[in-house]
Amino acid sequence: MANLTINGKNFTLDVEPDTPLLWAIRENAGLTGTKYGCGIAQCGACSVHIDGVATRSCGVSISEAEGKKITTIEGLASGSTLHKVQQAWIAKDVPQCGYCQSGMIMAVAALLSEKPKPTDADIDEAITNICRCGTFQQVREAIHTIASA
Amino acid sequence: MNKHVSAKMNRRAFVIGTAAVGTGLAIGLDLPFGGPAVVRAADGSPEVNAWVVVRPDDTVVIRIARSEMGQGSLTGLAQLVAEELECDWSKVTTEYPTPGQSVARKRVWGDFSTGGSRGIRSSQDYVRKGGATARVMLIQAAADEWKVLASECTVEKGVITHKASGKTTTYGKVAETAAKLTPPADVKLKDPKDWTIAGKGLLRLDTTDKTTGTMVYGIDIKLPGMLNAAIKDCPVFGGKVKSFDEAKVAGMKGVQKVVKVGDSAVAVVADTWWHAKTALEALPIVWDEGDNAKVSSETIAKWLAEGLDDAQPAYVGNKNGDVKTAMAGAAKKIEAVYNYPYQNHATMEPMNATALYTADKCEVWCGTQNGEAAFAAVLEASGLPAEKCDVHKVMLGGGFGRRGMTDYVRQAVAIAKQMPGTPIKLLWSREEDMTHGRYHPVTQCKMTGAFDADNNLVALHYRLSGQSILFSVRPEALQNGMDPAAFQGVAQSGEAAFGYAVPNLLIEHSMRNPHVPPGFWRGVNVNHNAIYMECFMDELAHEAGQDPLAFRRKLMGNHPKHLAVLNAVAEKIGWDKPAPQGVYRGIAQVMGYGSYVAGAAEISVTDGSKIKVHRIVASTDPGYVVNPAQVERQIAGSFVYGLSALFYGGCTVKDGRIEQTNFDTFNSMRINEMPKVEAVMVPSGGFWGGVGEPTIGVAAPAVLNAYFAATGKRIRSVPLRDQNITFA
Ligand code: FES
Ligand code: FES
């Protein structure tokens, strides 16, 4: 049994302590917005916030996540108001297949909370998610739109 | 019907889909007043025709048979229907008919296959007619009600007006009546220059759920009582399962069953996928790897190299003049040998499918590029007839050609069949996905060019050796053994025609099919053919001491459309002006999927091995542009995919199996490596070309030619990582 706080809610989950957080989120908590892409912390599809820090949840075990504040893509909006990154993603039509975008959005949201006006170099350094569809130029444009708002 | 604009609807549709078993169809016939039959959608709204349902609140539901995998054709097709329908775009929503429904209605929605950049170009005609026909019927219904002539009525954004009497009504109000009318035999389609919805860079219809985590992909399917399966297929293609020791994992947490899948794979079924995967890794499996275990990249390369020898048999794909004689009399000749490796699709979402099998029905939920092929696979794997099967399509987390195959669908059904009544979600690990792909085929190419004394190209011999996709995937499409698709981009004529006039030309293919299964991989045979031809064209230009653009132009007089896109990129990148200090340019053109494309790159190189791509310009003439914003995204995305393959891709074979197992060894470009792609669209009209694939062909050669300009070194082998060349 593990106690997790996800999107402000407490979950008591029947999982082994070495279960990757990704799978506890998807299969035990039932929040499937966080995606599996590689399982080895390479692609970023599984990115969530742990105490506000963008983290690849496939590389974090349940025991490491206990007692921390976990936010997934489902918890990014405040009530019915979408987060500014989600709004910009819609306005700029960023996603193609969309599969990488939960992780991309979580990574960008964390970057912007740290650096509200990131330079291209800041973006290059912080955003290392794989997008096989190749949405990078829309991602960059949307980040700059948010920063200049 | 699985609706994909709202995930909430999506889930409800799943429930309906599961509850409405027996009929399997959400559509029924309704004879309310004994009049003509009205076909109704799941919510009871009338179908004006198979493509258009109008709800009483004026919402227009447009049916889309082709699959959405990120390429945007869901939105583009809806734009084409809405354009002819003259409805209010803000009230448009879409849904997928299922293949089972289509088969039950004599394939009223036509072809479901979504590959070859055909989603829009192969269905634009009949979907536009669907929209136009519905418009005529809706207007007729209003005119009948008002007892006026339909020709006196006009429509704008779904509001019908009879000017003389001042009467107005809406599509939602007349849809019931319209649905009972006999459709007009013929309708006139709009001239694209009059388009107001199509041709515009409208926002996609499927974005919001992709930003909130609510979009449902195959991996996200949840059904009551569902179990999860992890699978291992024999690591050597063509091998078999000899034995496995189920007892070793039977007691592991969550494990329900260990099953053999076909004769080559084993799956563990558990409560969660994590448990299934953990147990599968602990499961002792003995494989019968067979003779293919002796094959390696080296043995394949050796076999392909033998095919470059003119003494070996080859299929001729394009020919004029007499190359042999012209070569013999030439003033000068050059020769070069290139190669291109296997590539995995590496869709962001690994392969998966969910299947529910009972004695009298089999349903599958999955992302597929070809609903009908998946449906056929379900029939075959379940052994049940069409009326007892269906496939519910969901959003694809990438396709790129991989999800046109049905191997994962068959596996899911084979597992579910061993656990009747229990829905089974089969998910491949990334490792399974990387090592059991349907790979971009492996090829080599020897090219010889000959000049006369005035440095005119008088002969070109292009000898391709390597794997045929059709031989493995669609053998019935071979022509007397020849794979016509092998000549994509260098073909005599058709949708992938060669763009140069060379007086003596011979383009041939020595087919050699290693055991690694090939598949259609975004751009397909255009990828290597464009690298070979366009890089060698560059070599020929330098040999002749001429500018690569000027050299090409001289050979392209008879190919004005090829030339127009080449000129468009040259102009945009400023070919006639010097590049910035330390920056070098490369250029390339090709035709594929009915579209003419060209690309140019500006790069700088540090220490001969660190490449920075500063600028990319890409041009396309696809005939018509249905949504310029989406075309721009497809062009940019094709460069990310093509350059990822050039720099980081390449799958190698050792002991009969693929060596790369995840993104650590099969990497993909990141945002810091990719410049903005400047798209130049020059649609010339009169034909319909594809968009998702063609431009990938020019991505690699443009960069490789720029690398030569920068370093004086030719790279004739992909990927660059094997030569220790990477991004700066
Ligand atoms: S799934 Fe976690 S980084 Fe790829
Ligand atoms: S949008 Fe498809 S992988 Fe990024």
Residue type for position B100: G
pLDDT > 90 fraction of chain B, expressed in percent and rounded: 95
Residue A38 CB–ligand 1 contact under 6 Å: yes
Contact status, residue B676 vs residue B617, Cβ threshold 8 Å: no
d(CA B581, CA B548): 20
- Provide the greatest CA pair distance for chain A: 45
Burial of B513 (0-12, 13-18, 19+ CB in 10 A): middle
- Residue of higher predicted confidence among B33 and B368: B368
- Residue of higher predicted confidence among B36 and B608: B608
At B354, the pLDDT band (50, 70, 90 cuts) reads: very high
For chain B, residues classed under CATH 3.30.365.10 are 18-210, 218-289+351-427, 297-343+439-727
Stated pTM of the model: 0.95
Nearest beta carbon to residue B395 from set A39, A98, A100: A98
Q: Given ligand 1 and candidates A58, A104, A130, A132, which is best to mutate, with the most ligand atoms within 8 Å of its CB?
A: A58
Chain A residues with CB under 8 Å of B210 CB are: 89, 95, 98, 101
Residue of chain A whose Cα is closest to the Cα of B69:
A97
Res B29: pLDDT? 43
Asked whether residue A41 is domain-assigned, the answer is yes
Task: Based on the fold, state whether residues A51 and A92 are members of the same structural domain.
Answer: no
Burial of A117 (0-12, 13-18, 19+ CB in 10 A): exposed
Topology of the domain covering B218-289+351-427: Aldehyde Oxidoreductase; domain 4 (3.30.365)
- Span B297-343+439-727: which CATH code? 3.30.365.10
Q: Given ligand 2 and candidates A131, A139, A140, which is best to mutate, with the most ligand atoms within 8 Å of its CB?
A: A131
Please write the tens of the pLDDT for every residue from A11-51.
999 999 999 999 999 999 999 999 999 999 999 999 999 99
Here the CATH number for the domain that contains residue A24 is 3.10.20.30
d(CA B263, CA B240): 6
Res B15: pLDDT? 31
Chain B residues with CB under 8 Å of A129 CB are: 670-671
Asked whether residue A88 is domain-assigned, the answer is yes
Res B662: pLDDT? 98
Q: Which atom of ligand 2 is nearest to the CA of A98?
A: 1
Cβ A89–B350 below 8 Å, yes or no?
A: no
* Cα-Cα end-to-end distance for chain B: 49
Residue A117 CB–ligand 2 contact under 6 Å: no
What DSSP element (H or E) covers B409?
A: helix B407-416
Mean pLDDT across chain A: 97
Task: Based on the fold, state whether residues A67 and A97 are members of the same structural domain.
Answer: no
Asked whether residue A79 is domain-assigned, the answer is no
Mean pLDDT of B650-656: 98
Residue of chain A whose Cα is closest to the Cα of B644:
A132
Single residue among A22, A54, A74 that ends a domain in this structure: A74
Here the CATH number for the domain that contains residue A142 is 1.10.150.120
At B622, the pLDDT band (50, 70, 90 cuts) reads: very high
Mean pLDDT of B474-486: 98
Closest by CA to A99, choosing from A54, A132, A50, A75, is A132
Please write the tens of the pLDDT for every residue from B146-202.
999 999 999 999 999 999 999 999 999 999 999 999 999 999 999 999 999 999 999
d(CA B627, CA B372): 27
pLDDT > 90 fraction of chain A, expressed in percent and rounded: 99
d(CA A62, CA B692): 41
Asked whether residue A50 is domain-assigned, the answer is yes
Closest by CA to B429, choosing from B544, B278, B584, is B278
Instruction: Show the tokens assigned to B508.
Output: 């041939």
Domain B18-210 part of CATH 2.102.10.10: no
Res B46: pLDDT? 96
Single residue among A44, A74, A104 that ends a domain in this structure: A74
Nearest beta carbon to residue B633 from set A37, A45, A138: A138
Instruction: Work out the number of other CB atoms within 10 angstroms of the CB of residue B144.
Output: 14
Write down the number of H helices and E strands in chain A. 6, 5
Say whether the ipTM exceeds 0.90.
yes
Reduce the DSSP state of residue B538 to 3 states and report it. helix
Residue of chain B whose Cα is closest to the Cα of A27:
B272
d(CA B197, CA B79): 6
Instruction: Show the tokens assigned to B421.
Output: 């009544």
d(CA B149, CA B138): 13
User: How many Å lie between the alpha carbon of B55 and the closest alpha carbon of chain A?
Assistant: 26
Mean pLDDT of B404-415: 98
Q: Give the structural domain span for A94.
A: 84-147
Residue A56 CB–ligand 1 contact under 6 Å: yes
Inter-axis angle of helices A136-147 and B628-647, nearest 10? 120
Cβ A38–B662 below 8 Å, yes or no?
A: yes
How far is CA B41 from its chain centroid? 29
d(CA A119, CA A73): 24
Please write the tens of the pLDDT for every residue from A102-122.
999 999 999 999 999 999 999
Cβ B671–A37 below 8 Å, yes or no?
A: no
Residue B492, sorted as left (phi over 0), alpha (psi -120 to 50) or beta, turns out to be alpha
Closest by CA to B650, choosing from B516, B537, B513, B510, is B516
pLDDT > 70 fraction of chain B, expressed in percent and rounded: 95
Buried b / exposed e over B94-115, threshold 16 CB at 10 Å, is: bbbbbbbbbbbeeebbbbbbbb
Say whether pLDDT at B35 is over 80. Answer: no
At B36, the pLDDT band (50, 70, 90 cuts) reads: low
Chain B residues with CB under 8 Å of A82 CB are: 211-212
d(CA B215, CA B595): 32
Mean pLDDT of B105-131: 96
Closest by CA to B642, choosing from B583, B601, B690, is B601
Instruction: Show the tokens assigned to B372.
Output: 């009908």
Residue nearest atom 2 of ligand 2, based on CA coordinates: A97
Instruction: Work out the number of other CB atoms within 10 angstroms of the CB of residue A115.
Output: 13
Asked whether residue A8 is domain-assigned, the answer is yes
At B18, the pLDDT band (50, 70, 90 cuts) reads: very low
- Residue of higher predicted confidence among B132 and B27: B132
Res B715: pLDDT? 98
d(CA B374, CA A13): 36
Compute the C-alpha angle B589/B593/B598, nearest 5°.
Answer: 15
With an 8 Å Cβ cutoff, is A23 touching chain B?
A: yes
User: How many Å lie between the alpha carbon of B172 and the closest alpha carbon of chain A?
Assistant: 28
Q: Which atom of ligand 2 is nearest to the CA of A95?
A: 1
Instruction: Show the tokens assigned to B62.
Output: 């447009």
Rg of chain B over Cα atoms, rounded to whole angstroms, equals: 27
Chain A residues with CB under 8 Å of B213 CB are: 31-34, 72-74, 102
How many domains would you assign to chain A? 2
Task: Based on the fold, state whether residues A6 and A43 are members of the same structural domain.
Answer: yes
Residue A44 CB–ligand 1 contact under 6 Å: yes
User: How many Å lie between the alpha carbon of B425 and the closest alpha carbon of chain A?
Assistant: 12
Chain A residues with CB under 8 Å of B429 CB are: 39
User: How many Å lie between the alpha carbon of B676 and the closest alpha carbon of chain A?
Assistant: 6
Please write the tens of the pLDDT for every residue from B301-313.
999 999 999 999 9
Please write the tens of the pLDDT for every residue from B562-576.
999 999 999 999 999
Res B37: pLDDT? 77
Say whether pLDDT at B89 is over 80. Answer: yes
Task: Based on the fold, state whether residues A92 and A69 are members of the same structural domain.
Answer: no
Task: Based on the fold, state whether residues A69 and A93 are members of the same structural domain.
Answer: no
User: How many Å lie between the alpha carbon of A112 and the closest alpha carbon of chain B?
Assistant: 16
d(CA B262, CA B417): 12
Single residue among A74, A102, A119 that ends a domain in this structure: A74
Ligand 1 centroid–CA A54 distance in Å is 12
